[in-house]
Amino acid sequence: MLPFNKPPFTGKEFEYMRQALDNRKICGDGEFTKKCSRWLERKFNIRKALLTTSCTHALEMTAILANIQPGDEVIAPSFTFVSTVNAFVLRGAKVKFVDIRPDTMNLNEQLIEAAITPKTKAIIPVHYAGVACEMDTIMAIAKKYHLLVIEDAAQGVMSSYKGRALGSIGDMGTFSFHETKNYTMGEGGAILLNNSNHIERAEIIREKGTDRSKFFRGQVDKYSWCDIGSSYLPSELNAAYLWAQLETVHEINNDRLKSWHRYNSALSDLAKRGDIELPFIPEHCTHNAHMFYLKVANLEIRSRLIEALKRQGIDAVFHYIPLHSAKAGLIHGNFVGEDKYTTVESARLLRLPMYYGLKESDVMMLLDVINDFYGI
């Protein structure tokens, strides 16, 4: 059996979780949470990083910080995970879905301007597979129309665009540390803030709408209800797990990249024959091997290839069903312009197993099945 994903575990997680227990502080914002957030700030050059209970929750915080009101609009790709847009819909926004570029599967930056109306508040680029959107163009459009840019960098930890970390470029960014992502804490994430106006308010929103963070720092002598908010801070046990992962970030990253390049070079013959297409990485981007996907000719071939792999015990999966055509998508948003690539390209994309510790022999076995399928 070759699973699609295995949650990363590098060895120190138990020890750090035990330390968190020994510290007699297992609720949020203890030593491990502080270590992780400081690490993220330094490593990725971010003014403020706050750990959250998920990337979904980090996105919800960005929607509150952006003051999204009923009737406001946000611009996002339809080819993404539901959380990217749910966060804004929860505040009453409508989603304007824009087509993707077929090469990176990211929001097509050339189509954003046509989707802007007087109600538009934010652009939400999603860095699919940890490969950057065209951030220079997106930031320039946002500046011209006074919009916020909120990066969904759930998949982009350790990736960069022109030397800058994904998640650190827009007004706000979010990371995911779910067990299916490159670095994990089970369930968890982070909100990344570059605008000083957002930082103090984010601490309050994350602490149930109170200034409890200031209270713990001794900056106020009692804490009280200051704003709307919720409980978005993770337990120290989760942060302790994450700390072990961040300490071994290069080991995990290099291991994933090795598997990624193994797939990419072994499949190049099939790509040359035109049977499949391989991922495209723009020259000014570095990526984190979050995902290895290939694109086959059409939906029918994809289903047959998934079956062929399954018969050999290999779990390969696809995603996403475009949001604009889903039940909730029809209610809460609409597609602007032509759906030239979103539906067609998503139907032919197939993700291969990718995780820390994926064995070379397993990759080779899988490649044999794919080559067999195409008769080479």
Ligand X SMILES: *Cc1c(COP(=O)(O)O)cnc(C)c1O
Q: Residue written as tokens 């749910």?
A: 86
What is 125-138 written as a DSSP string?
-B-GGG----HHHH
The least distance separating ligand X from the CB of residue 187, rounded to whole angstroms, comes to 7
**For ligand X, which residue of 62, 84, 159, 288 counts as binding (CB under 6 A)?**
84
Q: What 3-state DSSP class applies to 270?
A: helix
Question: Are 123 and 135 a contacting pair, CB within 8 Å?
Answer: no
DSSP state of 76: E
Spatial separation of the C-alpha atoms in residues 301 and 274, rounded to whole Å: 14
The least distance separating ligand X from the CB of residue 243, rounded to whole angstroms, comes to 17
Ranges within 244-303 binding ligand X (CB under 6 A): none
Residue 235 interacts with ligand X (CB under 6 A)? no
- Residue window 36-65: x/- pattern of binding to ligand X, with contact defined by CB under 6 A: ------------------xxx---------
Residue 176 interacts with ligand X (CB under 6 A)? yes
3-state helix, strand, coil in the chain (%, to 5): 40, 15, 45
> Between the CA of residue 156 and those of 166, 167, 183, 374, what are the distances in Å?
6, 7, 10, 32
What is 44-59 written as a DSSP string?
HT-SEEEEES-HHHHH
Residue 168 interacts with ligand X (CB under 6 A)? no
Spatial separation of the C-alpha atoms in residues 302 and 354, rounded to whole Å: 18
By CB under 6 A, which span of 64-72, 78-86, 253-261, 302-310 interacts with ligand X? Answer: 78-86
Whichever of 210 and 238 has its CB closer to ligand X, that residue is 238
**For ligand X, which residue of 29, 99, 151, 152 counts as binding (CB under 6 A)?**
152
By CB under 6 A, which span of 16-24, 60-68, 149-157, 261-269 interacts with ligand X? Answer: 149-157
Whichever of 154 and 233 has its CB closer to ligand X, that residue is 154
**For ligand X, which residue of 64, 126, 132, 239 counts as binding (CB under 6 A)?**
126
Q: Which residues of the shown chain bind ligand X in the complex (CB under 6 A)?
A: 54-56, 80-81, 83-84, 126, 152, 154-155, 176, 178, 189
